[in-house]
Amino acid sequence: SGANALATAVGKLYFGSATDNPELTDTTYMTYLNSSQHFGQITPENSMKWDATEPEVNTFTFTEGDQIADLAKSNGQILRGHNLVWYQQLPDWVTSNDYNATGLTAVIQNHIAGVAGHYKGQPYSWDVVNEPLNDDGSFRSDVFYDTLGESYISIALNAAHEADPNAKLYINEYNIEYTGTKSTAMQSLVTTLQADGVPIDGIGMESHFIVGEVPTTLVENFQAFADLGVEIAITELDIRMTLPETAALLEQQKQDFYTVVDACLQVSACKGITVWDWTDKYSWVPSTFSGQGAATPFDDPAFDGIVMAL
């Protein structure tokens, strides 16, 4: 049985994968990706980001995003929209036009109305704000924070709610999967947003882990978010190693995938698990972390770790 079939059988909403447009012509790859036994959910790895959807002011391009959205629809898969406001893959015009607070507010609102409005009704959830925090828990200095302070987060969430009232609105972040300063800061942000009446439904735990270093406090940490009344999702799971892969590393990785999937199963507020692509062939890891790879589960014993947990 496939991972999604198993995950839904134990009460999760989905087991899914990120995918990117160039991969959609790989027929072997597509045989797996199209199978809702394996994948009940997909996330566009790049094609709904700001640089892809609004490369010039108020000029929207949805061709590639639509390809992923249409694929999800025809496969009966849940779509996670990713992402609306992020400091990376941001077109130059957003930073170079020197917008003041009023101007940048309008830019954010117009972007979100354009993109989330275009896909209205289809995504289960949107990563509305991506990676807003530094590792010490402070807000990341970027064009949004530097111009608007933390108000950019509520501006974005409110705009997303207006554009697509039924989508679950998420903040997505890394290094908040375990207890500690950054996780606590994210919990404070959730509490503040809730107190201000800002729509916030979920927190995405990216989960780009390293073999042998998977956090031991996942369950306790997930539960802390659940206790605030938000749902969570594992949004970008991969577990990388320093190459070359060895039998020992692959065995540890299998344990590590088991640990992560099992943690999601232990917390009912954890809705689903998305791997950041399922085959090493298309993983972002080797080109991002020099000397590392073999991070995805489906071509390794790691897959058995997932099935064991489910």
Contact map string, positions 121 to 150, toward ligand XIL, x by CB under 6 A: ---------x--------------------
Binding mask 171-210 for ligand XIL (x = CB under 6 A): -x---------------------------------x----
Determine if 77 is a binding residue for ligand XIL (CB under 6 A).
no
CB of 270 to ligand XIL, least distance (A): 18
Q: Tell me the three-class secondary structure of the chain, residue by residue.
A: CCHHHHHHHCCCCEEEEEECHHHHHCHHHHHHHCCCCCCCEEEECCCCCHHHHCCECCECCCHHHHHHHHHHHHHCCEEEEEEEECCCCCCHHHHHCCCCHHHHHHHHHHHHHHHHHHCCCCCCEEEEEECCECCCCCECCCHHHHHHCCHHHHHHHHHHHHHCCCCEEEEEECCCCCCCHHHHHHHHHHHHHHHCCCCCCEEEECCEEECCCCCCCHHHHHHHHHHCCCEEEEEEEEEEEECCCCHHHHHHHHHHHHHHHHHHHHCCCEEEEEECCCCHHHCCHHHHCCCEECCCCCCCCHHHHHHHHC
By CB under 6 A, the residues from 206 to 225 that bind ligand XIL are 206
Which residue among 54, 173, 206, 236 is the active-site one? 236
Residue number with CB closer to ligand XIL (176 or 309) = 176
Among 45, 231, 280, 300, binds ligand XIL (CB under 6 A): 45
Q: By CB under 6 A, tell whether 282 contacts ligand XIL.
A: no
284 binds ligand XIL (CB under 6 A): yes
* Whether 236 is catalytic: yes
Q: How far is the CB of 136 from ligand XIL (least distance, A)?
A: 19
**Nearest residue (CB) to ligand XIL, 174 versus 225:** 174
43 near ligand XIL, rule: CB under 6 A: no
To ligand XIL, the closest distance from the beta carbon of 301 in angstroms equals 24
Indicate the residue among 40 and 81 with the shorter CB distance to ligand XIL: 81
14 near ligand XIL, rule: CB under 6 A: no
Check residue 19 for interaction with ligand XIL (CB under 6 A). no
Burial of 41 (0-12, 13-18, 19+ CB in 10 A): buried
User: Which residues contact ligand XIL (rule: CB under 6 A)?
Assistant: 45-46, 130, 172, 206, 236, 284
- Give catalytic residues, as residue numbers: 236
